[in-house]
Amino acid sequence: MPLVTIDDIPVEVPEGTTILEAARMIGGDIVPPAMCFHSKLKTSGGYCRTCIVKVEQGSAKDPRPIPKPVASCRTTVMDGMVVRNITSPENLEARAGVVELLLINHPLDCPVCDQAGECHLQDLGYEHGKEATRYEFARREFEPTDIGEHIKLHMNRCILCYRCVKVADQITDGRCHGVINRGEVAEISTYIEKAIDNDFSGNVIDVCPVGALTDKTFRFKSRVWFTKPVDAHRNCAKCCGKVRLWYQGEEVLRVTARKDQWGEVEDNTDGTTAWICNECRFDKKNTTDWTIEGPSKIDRHSVISANHYETSLRNIKADTLKMMGSVPHGVKVELGTGALDPNNLHK
């Protein structure tokens, strides 16, 4: 098995693993951000260039460095490869450049965008971007359009990651969704706004890393951080039926596929990807439609987790115990995690 060193951390990975996947196996801060790569979609990745890394040593056999930064999501590791991500200031600077370029035509309308809170571009901007842009010209503009009955396309927000195009190619049959025009004015389109009439078209919403493709049944209903994710399932003839319900009070505001810590749709136990059908996504908005499994586990360092059901409950429980001064022996309490922490009360 090839041995690759990423930011001085060695890891042994199976043949054919990409640098990004190897970094994810290590985990933590050294994982490059990825906007266009989606492990469940074939041939995705390579477009956004945010995951670029510096290859200091190509392989044990050929130790020459690769002269240009490479897209870690599309570069396979070689035995003895030495990669630098966050330990290379030059690489971080290059990535900050990509982030700046990705944002120059983005409307930055987060306050009115449904994706805010679970937007990869927001996270990217916070973590890898600069505090201000140097762009002073008019941004490119498109009119929002409807793609079918349930999906809204805000092309202004799109970063052309091609993920939805890959979904249209690989998950739905008879693609009527692609990219038209070129360069800066290239746009995702269903050609003359032809509706996507397919049982799995809603998955384009789940793969969109930004707020370009949103669920019309959820638009402007709530900020995502006010909703509570719960895993549930039903017997569905079309799909696996395993979903995430987003509750506000007793009401199911939205249904999505289950996503992992990288924001990618999870796998089923049989190894297939847990894409969900439009019926589950758009038409089953009653608790009675579903068998509830329990609060969703959210690993992602997202704003959702700040108000997360499970974490909040655990925090409240811990805080309560602490306030009562009766922490049972052997129970580890994380301090200062919840609103009930006495230290936070004055805030």
Binding residues vs other proteins (CB under 8 A): 45-50, 52, 67-69, 71, 74, 94, 97-98, 100-102, 104-105, 134-135, 137, 159-160, 162, 178-179, 181-186
State the nearest-atom distance from the C-beta of 108 to other proteins, in Å.
14
d(CA 41, CA 64): 32
d(CA 120, CA 127): 10
Assess contact for 211 and 115: CB atoms under 8 A.
yes
Distance between first and last Cα of the chain: 53
Q: Which residues pair with 243 in a beta bridge?
A: 232
42 vs 301, beta carbon nearer other proteins: 42
Q: Which residues pair with 72 in a beta bridge?
A: none
d(CA 76, CA 19): 6
46 vs 80, beta carbon nearer other proteins: 46
State the nearest-atom distance from the C-beta of 181 to other proteins, in Å.
8
d(CA 77, CA 6): 10
126 vs 135, beta carbon nearer other proteins: 135
SS3 content of the chain, % helix, strand, coil (to 5): 25, 20, 55
d(CA 244, CA 326): 36
Q: Cα torsion for 154, 159, 164, 166, to the nearest 10°?
A: 160
186 vs 321, beta carbon nearer other proteins: 186
d(CA 157, CA 111): 13
State the nearest-atom distance from the C-beta of 158 to other proteins, in Å.
11
50 vs 214, beta carbon nearer other proteins: 50
Contacts of 108 (CB under 8 A, 6+ apart): none
182 vs 346, beta carbon nearer other proteins: 182
State the nearest-atom distance from the C-beta of 232 to other proteins, in Å.
37
119 vs 274, beta carbon nearer other proteins: 119
Assess contact for 188 and 160: CB atoms under 8 A.
yes
32 vs 117, beta carbon nearer other proteins: 32
State the nearest-atom distance from the C-beta of 142 to other proteins, in Å.
13
State the nearest-atom distance from the C-beta of 52 to other proteins, in Å.
6
State the nearest-atom distance from the C-beta of 275 to other proteins, in Å.
24
Q: Can you say whether the dihedral through the CA atoms of 157, 122, 210, 37 is positive or negative?
A: positive
107 vs 178, beta carbon nearer other proteins: 178
CB atoms within 10 A of CB 221: 16
Residues in the chain: 347
State the nearest-atom distance from the C-beta of 98 to other proteins, in Å.
6
Tell me the backbone φ, ψ of residue 277, rounded to 5 degrees: -85, 170
d(CA 8, CA 30): 10
Nearest residue to 92 via CA among 108, 59, 69, 75 = 69
State the nearest-atom distance from the C-beta of 134 to other proteins, in Å.
6
